[in-house]
C-alpha cells in the first residue's frame, strides 16, 4: 500500500492524450487504457518523481477548492489504483 | 521451392510476397481477388524456411508483435519476423513445420504497419454495410462482433473481425479484408458510425465521452498500439476519424433488434 510520503513517477512507456476534459492514458505494453477526469488528470500531471503524495493532495485540494480530508483519501486510493494498473510507479517508498 | 511472388492489396496498401510454394500457394488461392491498385508501390515481403530454428510450439498468431520506432518484431519458437516501416519491407524466417496460416498472420501484421504508414488504420471491428452506410462494430475480444455480424443478415458483412479504414476526399472509407468471415462481396463503403458493442438485455445507443472513445479505438488498433513511439500518431489518426464520424456505445442482445434502434437514431 502507498503512504503519504511516497513519491511516484509515470511509467516510461505510457502515452497520454488530453481529450475534452479527460486525459486518456494508454499502456501500450498491456494493450490497455485508462480515462481520467479532471482531478485524476491533475494527479497524473503532478506526479513528477519529486512530489510526495501528500504534496500532490494538498495542491489538488487548493486548486479544486475541495475538502482536504476527502482529497487526501481519494488521492491515495486513486494513486494506488494507477500503480496497480501500471501507469505509475513508486520510486521512493518512504515508510 | 520458391514460386513467382504474389501481391496482396487493399485500398492503398500492397504487399509483394516472395517465398516457398508450400506456404504461398494456399494464400494465393484464398486471396486471389485481393490485388493491389496498379498505382500502389508494394512493400517487399520475404518468407524463408529455416530448419535451424526450433520447431514451432504454437501458431505465430500467439506471438504478440513487439514494436519500437516503426519496426515490428514477431519472435516465437520457430519464427523470427520483422516488418520495417522505414525500409518498406518485411522478412519472416520460419521453421519448415510452420503453416501457411502462420505466414498469413505475418502478412496481416505487415499490412497493419503499411496501412498506418500510408494514412489508413487496420481496425479490430466488424464492418456491416447497412442501407448503403458503413457501420463499424468494435470492442475487445468477446464483445460480440461476430454475433452482431451474424444478426445483421441479410446485410453485407465486410469482415467480422478486421477492417481497413482509409481516408478519401469524401470522408473515411471502410474496406473489407480477407482476414475473417465475410458475407456478400461489398469491398468498400463510406464509414457512417463507430459503434462500441456492449452485451446487454436492453437495446439502446449511449453516448461515449471523447476520451473513452479515443482509448477504446486506440486499444482496438492491432499491432500499432503496442508501439509507444507510434502511439501518439495512432491517437492523432483516430482523432481525425472522430472529427467526422459519430461514435456510440451500442447495447445489444442476441437478436437483430439493434438495427431498429440504429435506424431510428442514426439512419
- What CATH number is attached to the domain comprising B177? 3.90.228.20
Q: What angle do CA A30, A32, A33 make, to 5 degrees?
A: 135
- pLDDT tens per residue, range B114-138: 999 999 999 999 999 999 999 999 9
Q: Are the C-beta atoms of residues B44 and B88 closer than 8 Å to each other?
A: yes
Which among B150, B146, B147, B159 has a CA at the least distance from the CA of B185? B159
Residue of A nearest to B64 (CA): A29
Q: From CA B32, how far away is CA B36, in angstroms rounded?
A: 11
Mean pLDDT of A73-78: 92
Residue B1 lies in a domain: no
Last residue of a domain, one of B93, B117, B141: B117
Which single residue is written with the C-alpha cell 496497480?
A84
Q: From CA B56, how far away is CA B95, in angstroms rounded?
A: 7
Residue B253 lies in a domain: yes
Domain that holds residue B242: 121-265
Q: What domains are defined for chain A?
A: 7-92 (3.90.930.60)
Last residue of a domain, one of B86, B117, B148: B117
Terminal Cα distance for chain B, rounded: 53
CB atoms within 10 A of CB B40: 18
Q: How far is A33 from chain B (nearest CA, A)?
A: 6
Residue of B nearest to A16 (CA): B232
Given a cut of 80, whether residue B9 has pLDDT beyond it is yes
Q: From CA B143, how far away is CA B176, in angstroms rounded?
A: 20
Q: Who contacts B52 (Cβ-Cβ below 8 Å, separation ≥6)?
A: none
Contact between B228 and A15 using a beta-carbon 8 Å cutoff: yes
B98 and B228 share one domain: no
Contact between B226 and A26 using a beta-carbon 8 Å cutoff: no
Q: How many domains does chain B have?
A: 2
Could you tell me the pLDDT band of residue A34, with boundaries at 50, 70 and 90? Answer: very high
Which single residue is written with the C-alpha cell 465521452?
B209
Q: From CA B5, how far away is CA B20, in angstroms rounded?
A: 9
Chain A residues close to B214, C-beta within 8 Å: 17, 19, 24
Q: Are the C-beta atoms of residues A10 and A27 closer than 8 Å to each other?
A: no
**Number of CB pairs, chain A paired with chain B, less than 8 A apart:** 54
Residue of B nearest to A28 (CA): B226
Show the cell assigned to A64: 479544486
**A20: region left, alpha or beta (phi > 0 left; psi from -120 to 50 alpha):** left
B244 and B135 share one domain: yes
Show the cell assigned to B54: 526450433
Mean pLDDT of B185-195: 97
The predicted pLDDT at position B30 comes to: 95
CA atoms within 13 A on the CB side of B144: 19
Show the cell assigned to B59: 501458431
Q: Who contacts A62 (Cβ-Cβ below 8 Å, separation ≥6)?
A: none
Q: Are the C-beta atoms of residues B198 and B143 closer than 8 Å to each other?
A: yes
Chain A residues close to B231, C-beta within 8 Å: 15, 26, 28
Show the cell assigned to B125: 471491428
Give bridge partners of residue B49 from the DSSP assignment. Answer: B94
Helix (H, G, I), strand (E, B) or coil at A55: helix
Exposure class string for B190-210: b at 16+ Cβ within 10 A, else e:
ebbbbbbbeeeeebebeebbb
Given a cut of 90, whether residue B267 has pLDDT beyond it is no
B27 and B102 share one domain: yes
Mean pLDDT of B28-47: 94
* Nearest Cβ partner for A35 among B215, B226, B239: B215
The predicted pLDDT at position A94 comes to: 57
pTM for the whole structure:
0.94
B80 and B202 share one domain: no
B135 and B248 share one domain: yes
User: Which segment of A85-94, B22-31, B131-140, B216-225 scores lowest on mean pLDDT?
Assistant: A85-94
In the DSSP assignment, the letter for residue B247 is E
Last residue of a domain, one of B94, B117, B140: B117
Amino acid at each position: 500500500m502507498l503512504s503519504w510520503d511516497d513519491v511516484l513517477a509515470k511509467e516510461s512507456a505510457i502515452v497520454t492524450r488530453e481529450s475534452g476534459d479527460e486525459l486518456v492514458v494508454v499502456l501500450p505494453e498491456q494493450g490497455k487504457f485508462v480515462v481520467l477526469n479532471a482531478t485524476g488528470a491533475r494527479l497524473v500531471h503532478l506526479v513528477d518523481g519529486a512530489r510526495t503524495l501528500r504534496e500532490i493532495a494538498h495542491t489538488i485540494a487548493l486548486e479544486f477548492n475541495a475538502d482536504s480530508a476527502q482529497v487526501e483519501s481519494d488521492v491515495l486510493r486513486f494513486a494506488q489504483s494507477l500503480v496497480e494498473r501500471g501507469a505509475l510507479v513508486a520510486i521512493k517508498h518512504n515508510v | 521451392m520458391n514460386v513467382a511472388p504474389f501481391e496482396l492489396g487493399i485500398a492503398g496498401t500492397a504487399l509483394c510476397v516472395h517465398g516457398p510454394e508450400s506456404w504461398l500457394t494456399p494464400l494465393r488461392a484464398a486471396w486471389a481477388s485481393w490485388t493491389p491498385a496498379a498505382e500502389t508501390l508494394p512493400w517487399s515481403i520475404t518468407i524463408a524456411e529455416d530448419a535451424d530454428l526450433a520447431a514451432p510450439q504454437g501458431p505465430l498468431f500467439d506471438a504478440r508483435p513487439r514494436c519500437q520506432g516503426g519496426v515490428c518484431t514477431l519472435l516465437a519458437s520457430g519464427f523470427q519476423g520483422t516488418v520495417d516501416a522505414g525500409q518498406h519491407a518485411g522478412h519472416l524466417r520460419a521453421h519448415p513445420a510452420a503453416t501457411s496460416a502462420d505466414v498469413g498472420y505475418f502478412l496481416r501484421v505487415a499490412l497493419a504497419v503499411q496501412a498506418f504508414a500510408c494514412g489508413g488504420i487496420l481496425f479490430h471491428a466488424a464492418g456491416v454495410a447497412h442501407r448503403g452506410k458503413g457501420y463499424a462494430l468494435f470492442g475487445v475480444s468477446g464483445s460480440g462482433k461476430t454475433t452482431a455480424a451474424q444478426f445483421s443478415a441479410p446485410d453485407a458483412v465486410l469482415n467480422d473481425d478486421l477492417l481497413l479504414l482509409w481516408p478519401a476526399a469524401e470522408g473515411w472509407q471502410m474496406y473489407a479484408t480477407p482476414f475473417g468471415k465475410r458475407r456478400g462481396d461489398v469491398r468498400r463503403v463510406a464509414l457512417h458510425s463507430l459503434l462500441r458493442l456492449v452485451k446487454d438485455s436492453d437495446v439502446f445507443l449511449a453516448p461515449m465521452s471523447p476520451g473513452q472513445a479515443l482509448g477504446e479505438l486506440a486499444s482496438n488498433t492491432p499491432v500499432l498500439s503496442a508501439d509507444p513511439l507510434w502511439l501518439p500518431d495512432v491517437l492523432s489518426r483516430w482523432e481525425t476519424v472522430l472529427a467526422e464520424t459519430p461514435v456510440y456505445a451500442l447495447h445489444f442482445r442476441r437478436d437483430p433488434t439493434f438495427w431498429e434502434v440504429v435506424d431510428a437514431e442514426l439512419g
